[in-house]
Amino acid sequence: MAMDIDATLTNRDNSKGINLRGVGNWKFGRVQPAIALPIVNAKPQNNVLFRFTGQTETIGFTFSILDTGVRVDNPHHTSEVKTKNEQISYLRNQIYTEDFDVDWTLLDNIYFTSGIQGVITNLTIDSVAGNPQKAVGSITFMRGRIGAL
C-alpha cells in the first residue's frame, strides 16, 4: 500500500497552485523509444536499433478531494477554494486548462522535496460511491520544461 503524502502544484507563470491531500499510488515511468530495422531472415536480437529522440519521464499519482472546509488553493487565487465542488471547478478551470505553454513545479515531502518542473498531461476526477463529500483525482505529470520551436 502506498503511503499517503501531500503535494503541491504551482504554476511557474502566475504562481497559482493547489495543495493536494491524500496523495499516493505514485507511478514513475521513463521511456526512451527505439525504432527497429529488422533484417530479413534474422533473429530479433540481430535487429538494428535507432534512437531519434531522448528520454521522457512521467509521474502519476492519485489524490483525495475532500469537503472538509480546508483551503487548498494558494493565496494568488482571488477566492478561497474549500469545498469539494470548488476544488473540482478550480482543478478543471484554473489548473488544467487549455493553455498549452504552462509549466508547473511539483513538490512533495518525500520524492521531490526540491520540486521538479514539468507539465500536467492528464487529469481525471472520479466520484466516490456513497460518499458525497469525497472524490478521487489522478494526475499524470511529464517532467521537463516548455520550449519554443
CATH of the domain at 59: 2.40.30.200
pLDDT in the model for residue 94: 84
Q: What is the pLDDT of residue 102?
A: 82
Whether residue 68 is contained in a domain is answered as yes
pLDDT tens across 117-130, in order?
999 999 999 998 88
Predicted local confidence at residue 64, as pLDDT: 93
Q: Which domain holds residue 116?
A: 5-143
> How many structural domains is the chain composed of?
1
Residue 149 covered by a domain: no
Query: Is residue 148 included in any domain, yes or no?
Result: no
Q: How many CB atoms lie under 10 A from the CB of residue 9?
A: 24
Task: Produce one character per residue of 74-112: b if its CB has 16 or more CB atoms within 10 Å, e if not.
Answer: beebeeebbbbebbbebbeebbbeeeeebebbbbbeeeb
Are 134 and 67 contacting, i.e. CB atoms less than 8 angstroms apart? yes
The Cα 64–Cα 71 span in angstroms is 14
For the record, the C-alpha cell of 64 comes out as 483525495
pLDDT of residue 118: 92
In DSSP terms, which residues pair with 60 in a beta bridge?
27, 140
Q: Quick one: pLDDT at residue 5?
A: 54
Sign of CA dihedral 80, 81, 86, 91: positive
The pLDDT value given to residue 76: 64
Rounded mean pLDDT for each run of 10 residues along the chain, 149 residues in total:
65 86 92 89 89 91 88 74 88 82 85 88 91 92 81
35 domain-assigned: yes
Which one-letter DSSP state was computed for residue 84?
H
